Amino acid sequence: MQKNIFTEEFGDSAHQPILLIAGSMSQGPASWPDAFVGRLAAGGRKVIRYDHRDTGRSATTDFAADPYTWRDIKDDALAVLDAHGIESAHLVGHSAGGLLAQWIAVEHPERVTTLTAIGASPLGRQEGLTVMRALMGEEQPEGSLPPPTREFVEFYRKMITSPPPATRREQIDFQIAEARVLAGGGFPIDEEEERRQAERLHDRALDVSALANHRLAAAADMAFEPVGLLHTVKAPTLVVEGTHEPVKPGHGALIAEAIPGAELLLVEGMGHMLAPQVHETLADAVLRHTDTVRR
């Protein structure tokens, strides 16, 4: 395993294992709220979540001296399974974590009992380029993925042309503003609770600035995703997308179309975040899906 990856395990160790893979630049608890994880554990699963390298309590890197790519971040997930002595697990990935889970299912089918991708883009379609073109105001070539929403583009255009938040308060204020955009408008957000969570995650991280290394890892290998292989996925697959998805609208359907037998679940009101309003729906769906193999 790369240096030290921080992991947490919930539920009975004798139960079926679920590995939760968080999104880019995201600590495990940010993508996977405690309430959602608790529902999975209470449903009879051993649940493992972890912090990607350079996030949360996992080791940070001097990227200039020790660069890495998203291939390495993908391999970290396999190293987590190895460290827990798990040969095969149910992979549940959110956002970029959903792409990593697809990648593992393509390259290491023996390690994947079932696959669940939430708010993710299809492997090999280079969603990052679609977002970059949208932010630059460039026309999307024919066959590109659907671009993010206007609200998303306007928010991040302003972000990249403004000085980065410097103080703890500024960083947390930015995360609250970002949460409003990622929520997609389907549900109201509890800003006081969002602030408490942002403060907890900020103070939990070993080095908040290390998050930016994920962007450097992507830039180091823009064509890191294997192309045209989703049809080879053998694991039973559930794809989840919110009806108010602002970042990857319509991408879930493309994943489901590419993977034979995949099920697509559209969650009413859900944006790009796992809001409290959808915890029960999502947990029930994951529990049903991960129970299909046993049945």
295: pLDDT strictly greater than 50: no
Q: Which two tokens stand for residue 18?
A: 């679920």
Average pLDDT, the chain: 94
42-71, pLDDT tens digit by residue? 999 999 999 999 999 999 999 999 999 999
65-97, pLDDT tens digit by residue? 999 999 999 999 999 999 999 999 999 999 999
181 inside domain? no
Torsion 90-276-151-53 (CA) sign: negative
Residue ranges making up the domain that contains 30: 7-125+206-291
Residue 218 banded pLDDT, cuts 50, 70, 90: confident
99-121, pLDDT tens digit by residue? 999 999 999 999 999 999 999 99
Closest CA to 272 of 149, 126, 134, 124: 149
Q: Rounded mean pLDDT of 201-207?
A: 94
Strands ordered across the beta sheet of 237-242: 7-10, 45-50, 16-21, 89-94, 112-118, 237-242, 263-267
246 inside domain? yes
Q: Rounded mean pLDDT of 156-180?
A: 92
136 inside domain? no
CATH classification of the domain holding 70: 3.40.50.1820
183 inside domain? no
181-195, pLDDT tens digit by residue? 999 999 999 999 999
227 inside domain? yes
Closest CA to 17 of 33, 38, 41: 41
Torsion 188-184-70-68 (CA) sign: negative
222-236, pLDDT tens digit by residue? 667 889 999 999 999
- The number of domains in the chain is 1
30: pLDDT strictly greater than 50: yes
99 inside domain? yes
> Using CA atoms, how far apart are residues 97 and 122, in angstroms rounded to an integer?
11
Q: Rounded mean pLDDT of 213-223?
A: 81
130-154, pLDDT tens digit by residue? 999 999 999 999 999 999 999 999 9
Q: What's the pLDDT score for residue 220? A: 77
Residue 267 banded pLDDT, cuts 50, 70, 90: very high
212 inside domain? yes
Closest CA to 92 of 119, 73, 70, 71: 119
282 inside domain? yes
Q: What's the pLDDT score for residue 1? A: 39
Q: What's the pLDDT score for residue 225? A: 83
